Structure formats: C-alpha cells, structure tokens
C-alpha cells in the first residue's frame, strides 16, 4: 500500500487485484490459474520475490503451463539469476509447438529467450574450460576425443544419435558413428589399390554406362530387396534418377557375375576385408555415383550388426558426409568406416561427379558365435516371409 507514513491511502488497482487474489487463494490454494495471475500482479508491482513464489506455486500445480514458464524465466532474469533463467527459458522453448502461428510480440519473446540460452551456454562453456584447463594439461598425452564429445552433448553443441536400424538391432554393443582405422589393419591393403579400383570404375563408365543404374528404384531384382523411396519430398527426386546411381558387384548377398568380371582388381582388393555374410542383407559391394548438386537425404541402414566402408575414388570440392553428429569430408584413397544404422546423409555441392566404393563388414564388437547366430536368425526370417510385395 502506497502513501505517506502514518496516513492511510487508497490502494492502487494492481495492489487491490493482488490482495483479492491472495484472499481467493486462501480458500482455493490449488487454483494454478489464480497463482499465475497473482504472479503477474506481483511482478507488475515490482515485487519480484513475491512473483517468484507465486510462479513457483503455479508450476508446482501445473508444470506444463507455457506462459508461466516464460514468466518464471523472466522473473529469474530480473532477479539476476541468469543460469536459472536460461534453464527455464530452454524448457519453455522445448515446449513451443512447431508450426504454431506466432504473433510479433511472441516472436520477440522467443528471440530473447534463445539469446539468453545461447549466452548462458557460452558462459558455462568458458567457465568449464577454465576449470578443466589444469586437468587437460595434466593429461595432455591422453586422448580426449570421447570426453570432448561428452562435453559437447552436455553443452548441447552436439546432438545424441543412436542406432535406429530399419530391421535388425543388436543390443549392448558400442554405438559409434565413425570407427577409427587403427582397428582395421587390413584396410591399408584396400586403400593401396585405390588407383586400380578407380581405373576399373572409369572403364565401366566408358564401356558399359547402361549398366550403371539409379539406386532408388521400384524395379524388382530377383532375390534382392527392392530399393524404394521413403515417401514424398527429397527422396522422390531421386527415384529412377541417375543423380544417385550405382554399379553393383554384390547387392544384399546376391552376386552380379558379369559386373564382377569387369572389376577383377576391385574384387581382389576387397577380398582382404572381413567377409560379412547375412542372407538378403550382405555382402553389398557397389560403386556409388553422386552427381553435382545432389543430396542423399538423412536415412538409416538395416542393421548395426555390420559396418559400412566408403573408399573415396573421385571427390570434387563441395562434397560432405554426416553420420550422427559428426561430419567428415571424403579424401581420395582414405576409407571411412561407420555404423550406417545411425542417421547419415551425403551431399555433392560441387560441379563434378563424386564416386565412392562402398562395401560392408561385420561389426567388430560381435563375437564369432554371435555372427553365426545373427546369420541364422536373418536367414530364418527371410525364409519365413519369402519374397514380399514391393510395397512392404
């Protein structure tokens, strides 16, 4: 109540409304809407501590009230508690419905909330790096790649991706986007044959270009799972299109003898790999050709029981490859090994064709017994269903 000390004065409309709400909440303490209106009134009066108490009560009764979350964040911000304000703003932003119409006033609020969150994340990162500096120096000779990824996810600079195979998931093995080449000593023998492999691809393109087929197709191949577009949108533009095309030596366990005979040095080179034999799934060995200004949309493979290897043969500027949260560039003659059951995508923004040799191997975390059991499981499921319609 305002006025000169010792003299009574008439309360303002805001004070009267706050007093009315307090009286009402004394008889209806579970009225979340009433607590929210009281918080608004208290904030309007400049009573930030009272506003915080009322908004805390509101969100205790109704944690999903979006307007209350934004009000709580702004009250914490005005009280100078920036970390809490950022945390509450982040929660509120995560609950904003995508695609909902936004008024200009709301747009300004959302932009402010994002700014506070971004500034808080930067402040947190700077504080943590200062705190970790002595430890980093003490362990300077130790690899920190996994820790840095951990920290990146905590700071929300790196999204967490998990294997999401379209068919067979093998549990309790590490979910790794890219595998380090040191785990695969045989890889150097295949990389050493890069020039020969590229020469054979160029020979195919010169002598039998009609044998290079679109990867996304609705045409059935006997014994092979039909490659189908995943609905409309970006996949549809690749359907029956040479923008993404392939030349198969093996396709999902089925050999192409004539194609194999065209590429003897490639066949010899890949024989150095750990052979992955999964009925109706592997081996697959193919040349993958991506034309200029073409993107392969994000997708996942059929199983994490295998890994996929890319041996880059032709890589113009502007090409890239993402698996999960990690993006790498292809380098001619330097293979990449990755778990294709984790979301991945590729693009060629350059002016020339990109060409990669692709083949699969067993995931090294499966034991020999597990591999044999997965083979039997995979084969049994395939025998049970037989050849399914193309639309399945």
- Range 202-205 contact pairs with CB under 8 angstroms and sequence separation of 24 or more: 203/262, 204/247, 204/259, 204/262, 204/263, 204/287
- What DSSP line would sit under 146-179, residue for residue? HHHHHHHHHTTSS-------SSB---SS---SEE
pLDDT number for residue 209: 92
Distance CA 192, CA 213 (A): 27
The domain ranges of the chain are 13-117, 178-385
CATH of region 13-117: 1.25.40.10
According to DSSP, the residues that pair with 250 across neighbouring strands are 255, 285
pTM (two decimals): 0.78
Helix axes 82-94, 104-138, angle to 10 degrees: 120
Distance CA 325, CA 115 (A): 23
pLDDT number for residue 237: 86
Neighbouring C-alpha atoms within 13 Å toward the C-beta of 89: 24
pLDDT number for residue 319: 96
Domains 13-117 and 178-385 share a fold: no
Among all chains, which residue has been given the structure tokens 């039909």? 226
> 326, 16, 348, 34: which is closest to 160 by C-alpha?
326
Is 68 in a helix, a strand, or coil?
helix
191: which residues sit within 8 A by CB, 6+ positions away? 311, 333, 334, 335
> 362, 8, 340: which is closest to 176 by C-alpha?
340
pLDDT number for residue 219: 59
Q: For the chain, list residues with pLDDT below 50.
A: 1-8, 220, 222-226
pLDDT number for residue 99: 63
The sign of the CA dihedral 158, 159, 161, 166 is: negative
178-385 folds as Jelly Rolls (2.60.120)
Distance CA 197, CA 184 (A): 20
pLDDT number for residue 292: 97
Helices of type H across 247-327: 257-262, 264-270
Q: Mean pLDDT of all residues in the chain?
A: 88
**Tens digits of per-residue pLDDT, 172-230?**
999 999 998 888 999 999 999 999 999 999 999 999 999 999 998 865 454 444 455 55
**Tens digits of per-residue pLDDT, 3-32?**
434 444 556 777 777 788 778 877 778 888
According to DSSP, the residues that pair with 255 across neighbouring strands are 250
Distance CA 82, CA 304 (A): 42
């Amino acid at each position: 109540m305002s006025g000169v000390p010792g003299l009574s004065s008439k309360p303002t409309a805001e004070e009267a409304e706050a007093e009315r709400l307090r009286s009402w909440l004394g008889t209806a303490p579970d009225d979340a809407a009433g607590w929210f209106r009281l918080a608004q009134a208290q904030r309007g009066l400049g009573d930030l501590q009272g506003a915080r108490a009322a908004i805390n009560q509101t969100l205790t009764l109704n944690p999903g009230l979006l307007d209350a979350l934004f009000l709580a964040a702004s009250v914490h911000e005005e009280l100078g508690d920036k970390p809490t304000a950022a945390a509450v703003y982040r929660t509120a932003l995560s609950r904003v419905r995508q695609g909902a119409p936004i008024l200009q006033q709301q747009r300004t609020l959302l932009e402010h909330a994002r700014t506070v969150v971004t500034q808080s994340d930067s402040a947190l990162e700077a504080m943590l790096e200062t705190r970790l500096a002595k430890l980093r120096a003490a362990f300077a000779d130790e690899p920190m790649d996994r820790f840095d990824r951990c920290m990146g996810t905590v700071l929300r600079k790196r999204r967490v991706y998990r294997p999401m195979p379209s068919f067979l998931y093998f549990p309790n093995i590490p979910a790794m986007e890219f595998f380090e080449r040191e785990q695969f000593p045989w890889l150097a023998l295949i990389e050493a044959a890069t020039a020969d492999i590229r020469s054979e691809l160029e020979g195919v393109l010169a002598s039998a270009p009609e044998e290079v087929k679109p990867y996304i197709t609705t045409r059935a191949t006997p014994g092979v799972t039909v490659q189908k577009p995943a609905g409309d949108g970006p996949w549809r533009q690749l359907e029956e299109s040479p923008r993404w095309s392939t030349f198969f030596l093996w396709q999902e366990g089925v050999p192409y003898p004539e194609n194999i005979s065209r590429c003897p040095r490639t066949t010899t080179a890949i024989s150095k790999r750990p052979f992955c034999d999964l009925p109706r799934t592997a081996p697959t060995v193919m040349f993958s050709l991506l034309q200029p200004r073409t993107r392969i949309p994000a997708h996942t493979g059929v199983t994490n029981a295998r890994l996929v290897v890319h041996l880059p043969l032709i890589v113009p500027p502007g090409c890239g490859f993402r698996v999960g949260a990690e993006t790498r560039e292809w380098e001619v003659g330097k293979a990449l090994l990755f778990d294709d059951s984790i979301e991945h995508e590729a693009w060629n923004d350059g002016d020339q064709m990109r060409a990669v040799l692709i083949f699969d191997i067993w995931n090294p975390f499966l034991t020999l017994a597990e591999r044999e059991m997965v083979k039997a499981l995979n084969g049994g499921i395939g025998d049970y269903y037989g050849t399914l319609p193309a639309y399945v």
